[in-house]
Amino acid sequence: MDAKDKKIATDLAYEMIKEVSRAIRPYAGKPEAGEKVKIGADGTPTSYIDIIAEDTLVNILKNAPVLSYIISEEVGELKLGKGTKRSINLAEELENDDINEEEKPKFIFLVDPIDGTSNAIKEIPAYGISIAVAGVPEGRLATLDDVELGFISNFGNGNFFEAEKGKGCWLNNERVHPSDVVNFSEMTLGGFTKSGTSTASKLVDNARRMRVLGSVVLELSYVASGRYDAFLDLRGSRIIDIAASKLIVEEAGAIITSKHGEKLNNKLSIYEKAIVVAANNKILHKQIIDILNDNQADIIGKVGIASRVDQDKAVLFSAKLVDYFLTNGIEVVIEKRVVAKIEELKQNPKLDNIIKKIIKESPEMAESFENLNLNIDFKKIAQDVNKFKCDMAVVLGGDGTLLRAQAKLKEETPLFGINMGTVGFLTDIELKDTFNALDKVLRGDYYKEKRSKLVVSHENHYYQAMNEVVIMTEKPAKMLHFEIQVDGETIEEVRADGVIISTPSGSTAYAMSAGGPIVDPKLDGFIIIPICPYKLGARPFIVSDNSEITVKLLKKGKKAVFVMDGQINEEASYLEEINFKKAEKNVYFIRTSSKYFYEKVKDKLSEGGLNKNDGCL
């Protein structure tokens, strides 16, 4: 928007604020104001006072001399102006190249006519209007980044906030700035949490004071002006509620992000929501983000390295990692079998040709191999994985290598996976991002992700699995007869090719291929999936991970093989029971991106998990 357009938009916003205030004033505190008259476009009940407010501003934009789009709580998405009013789908409108220039709106208004409706009905002075104005992008969806003007008026006390992108924020025509509190034990915190959120409880319990006023737009503005030190909404705020207040917070110099500390740039839509965390400065904001995500970012002082050994590039890259950590003052141990391969390659007269071939096949490794230092005494730092005692284990390979490494580690050592396999669903990063990610980890800019494991017991023998246990016949194309119990209650008796007992981590592996659901790893549960059952009603179950699962073989003369994470094979016979329960110890992964799981689901599973790397170890 140019200066002229901003003036037009500002004048329209001022008029809407003035007229809505005048229209609702007679109804504030009156019983009829709270009468529920319909369900709004956003799916929430609409009160009579909301209708009065929204009708007022819609009429102003309808009769304006310019065309505009509006996204509002009750009416949804409309195209207004020059005496017209038409329902639209904003995404379709913005991607439509056939609209005449004269029919193209100048602005997108995101409006919550009354935020804090319950307060208005009870005449509690914390309710107001929020108006954000975005430019209309060409040929793409509009996002929060397109918002250039923000206006919030508290009808309860007359306070008026406004902000212009890149120019600053004002309260009642005076510049505002956030507070300078840096310790969450001294902060005033506002917001909405969710029941059962223990990390949020820690914030609330340790804050100096907690405020809940019932108006997201006003409370976010209080962070901008120093009345609050922080605000969060873990329920998810509608974009129409935060579009103006986000700009106000940022222009005042405060911070507003997602729960994981990421920039908010959601698309502009009546249906869009975002979890928001706002704070006065980066120091306090980071403390809040760390607590909400249970980020126990310990100092990394010692690192263990494990790798697949069937690829020369993985072995040589392990050597590069040893040099990287030693250069950064980090103590290193490396898997013995990897050291054996390094020493073998060091003696190979064709090593230069091997490296050239690797670089040709994997150009992203060229920089890593430019100054490859193989003059390190690798034998001196060699250890078996089961003897690693370190702060982090770096694993090069695919999911199979990670599963093998975690099974051998005696301690709950956090794993950092570098994908050198086919899928690499459990790994954190791709090869090209290795050193940028490790730089972040060594700075403490990471978080630990907890994954549960299974304990498998059979005939007084005990095993563990992180992904899944597969029970199947020892002979191909033969079915078995199973009885499946959960906490002593029989839930299924079925003939099938096999049964999978999976953790949430394993839900994207064999369990998914066998028709099981994809399960968020944060869910506390196990999945039971019959493989090709000879029974129409046999379907997967998701059960609590506090349960004990028992699988019994009911067919005489047939043995079953049960396989833990594709690593360990054991046999079971007729009427023998295989029992499953949650392991006491968990597996921890070091993550540098909070978008790990769902991003992986989209990236790794969209094409069947294939990429350019060979092998799946």
If you average pLDDT over residues 468-486, what whole number do you get?
A: 86
The span from the CA of 224 to the CA of 529, in Å, is 51
Residue 68, Ramachandran bin (φ over 0: left; ψ between -120 and 50: alpha; else beta)? beta
Confirm if 311 and 615 have CB atoms less than 8 A apart. yes
57 falls in which pLDDT band (50, 70, 90)? Answer: very high
Q: 400 or 11, which is more confident?
A: 11
566 falls in which pLDDT band (50, 70, 90)? Answer: confident
Q: Indicate the CATH number for domain 302-451+593-605.
A: 3.40.50.10330
Provide the pLDDT for residue 595.
61
Provide the pLDDT for residue 614.
42
Q: How many CB atoms lie within 10 A of CB 174?
A: 7
CB-count burial class (<10 Å; 0-12, 13-18, 19+) for 575: exposed
User: What does each C-alpha distance from 373 to 27, 303, 317, 427 come to in angstroms?
Assistant: 77, 18, 11, 26
The span from the CA of 391 to the CA of 438, in Å, is 13
- State which fold the 3-169 domain adopts: Fructose-1,6-Bisphosphatase; Chain A, domain 1 (3.30.540)
Q: Indicate the CATH number for domain 184-292.
A: 3.40.190.80
The residue extents of the domains of the chain are: 3-169, 184-292, 302-451+593-605, 454-585
617 falls in which pLDDT band (50, 70, 90)? Answer: very low
Please give the positions annotated as active site: 399
Check pLDDT > 90 for residue 295. Answer: no
User: What does each C-alpha distance from 427 to 223, 417, 604, 613, 616 come to in angstroms?
Assistant: 38, 4, 11, 14, 12
Sign of the Cα pseudo-torsion (136, 141, 144, 145, in order): negative
Confirm if 493 and 535 have CB atoms less than 8 A apart. no
Helices (H), 81-182: 90-94, 117-121
Check pLDDT > 50 for residue 495. Answer: yes
* pLDDT tens for each residue of 102-146: 788 999 999 999 998 889 888 899 999 999 999 999 888 999 999
Provide the pLDDT for residue 485.
95
Q: Which residue type occupies 443?
A: R
Residue listed under structure tokens 């929060």: 144
Provide the pLDDT for residue 523.
86
- Token reading at 212: 């809940």
Provide the pLDDT for residue 594.
62
Residue 428 is classified by DSSP as S
Confirm if 277 and 289 have CB atoms less than 8 A apart. yes
**Beta-sheet pairing, 188-192 with 209-211:** parallel
If you average pLDDT over residues 146-164, what whole number do you get?
A: 95
The span from the CA of 264 to the CA of 38, in Å, is 31
Q: Which residue type occupies 207?
A: A
pTM, two decimal places: 0.61
Residues in the chain: 617
Check pLDDT > 70 for residue 424. Answer: no
Confirm if 357 and 371 have CB atoms less than 8 A apart. no
Confirm if 41 and 74 have CB atoms less than 8 A apart. yes
Q: Which long-range contacts (CB under 8 A, 24 or more apart) does 169-174 make?
A: 169/224, 169/247, 169/248, 169/251, 169/252, 171/221, 171/224, 171/225
Q: Indicate the CATH number for domain 454-585.
A: 2.60.200.30
Domains 3-169 and 302-451+593-605 agree in fold = no
Confirm if 151 and 109 have CB atoms less than 8 A apart. no
Which residues are within 8 A (CB) of 489 and not within 5 positions of it... i.e. 6 or more apart?
A: none
